[in-house]
Amino acid sequence: MYYKVKKTIFIAMVFLFLFSCKSDDSPTEITVTYPTPELLANLSELNLFKGDLKDLTPTDVVAVYDLQTPLFTDYCHKKRFISIPKGQAMEYNGEGFPVFPDNTILAKTFYYNIDERNPDLGKKIIETRVLIKKAGIWEIGNYIWNEDQTEAIRDEAGATQNISWIDMQGNTKTVDYKIPDYATCIMCHTNRGVRVPIGPKIRNMHKNNQLQNFIDKGILTGIDNVNAVTKLPNWEDTSYTEEQRSRAYLDVNCAHCHQPGGYYSVNFNDSFEFRYETRFSDTHIYEKRDPIMTRIESNIENYKMPFVGTTLNHTEAIDLLNSYLNSL
């Protein structure tokens, strides 16, 4: 009996030793959680970020991107994120929008620094707009951040928030920031009845080696040489001509409505054509230069341009467009 028990203990110890060695020698499998491509009740549930939500730190499988010329929204800052589903990639399809795979998530967070002179003092996050491609159709949702900056709640009703911040000159600025309702979102994000993104065209994401980074991560295919890809001018970069800068600004801030199939063109029989690739003679910019300038400078509701999305005049852009239009 003694030897039988001893033999049993010995076998058990050998088994534990072998099992332990196998465990130590085997690579540890890392489970990667991809974002959830659903418009859920809370932003945190989409799993786009890690750590404190207010830090806006993307998970390892979510890419941050910027634009050559961004949309103006009352001088607020924006952080843009893109999530491509596992094993999928955007496909290059010219300098316009890439072909996004189903379950792609585009997210854009809007915020103001408390003091522009020292961003370390913190920020006031207002909203995060989300587009998710499901079965070939872009679904649109908006998330409004709570006062504690711990969560953003899905909301389709929109709201107005009074925001104040200190600019680079030390002046206190204020704005009645308008968070769009669902109908307003659809107004800008629809062309010929189909919901579409606005900013992330290939030519507009062609900045700071971003396209190559996408390629290296395996989330963009179809480009052999990124240097051969057309780049949209940065409207603030004076190395471009005044016309290039103005046309780029109009493309990003106005062309989603002012092009064939756009909201304003369809509903008001608009003849403007502000896409950057459009020949100047087909844009009607010259014939319409006076109303363009008048409406961009206006603050009259339902007359000013952009039609929605801003409450403040973009002074620097107005100066540029004034100079350009007067030169024609």
Cα dihedral sign, 215-219-224-227: negative
Average pLDDT score over residue span 226-238: 97
SS3 77: strand
SS3 11: helix
Q: Mean pLDDT across the chain, nearest whole number? A: 91
pLDDT one-digit tens code per residue, 287-310:
999 999 999 999 888 888 888 889
pLDDT one-digit tens code per residue, 170-225:
999 999 999 999 999 999 999 999 999 999 999 999 999 999 999 999 999 999 99
* Nearest partner of 305 among 317, 287, 293, 290, judged by Cα: 293
Q: Give yes or no for residue 323 having a pLDDT over 50.
A: yes
Task: Output the six-digit token pair for 52.
Answer: 């404190």
Evaluate whether 128 touches 142 at the Cβ level (below 8 Å): yes
Burial 185-198 (b: 16+ CB within 10 A, else e): bebbbbbeeeeebb
- 49: DSSP letter: B
Average pLDDT score over residue span 64-77: 97
- pLDDT given at position 271: 82
| Residue 62 CB neighbour total at 10 angstroms | 20
The pTM for the full model equals 0.89
Side chain identity at residue 82, one-letter code: I
pLDDT one-digit tens code per residue, 204-219:
999 999 999 999 999 9
Distance CA 314, CA 145 (A): 25
pLDDT one-digit tens code per residue, 146-168:
999 999 999 999 999 999 999 99
Distance CA 227, CA 225 (A): 5
For residue 17, name the pLDDT band (cuts at 50, 70, 90).
very low
Find the DSSP H helices in the chain. 2-25, 182-188, 202-205, 210-217, 242-254, 263-268, 280-283, 289-297, 315-327
SS3 of 98-121: CECCCCCEEEEEEEEECECCCHHH
- pLDDT given at position 88: 98
Evaluate whether 291 touches 268 at the Cβ level (below 8 Å): no
Distance CA 206, CA 230 (A): 8
Average pLDDT score over residue span 100-113: 98
SS3 80: strand
Average pLDDT score over residue span 308-323: 95
- pLDDT given at position 29: 52
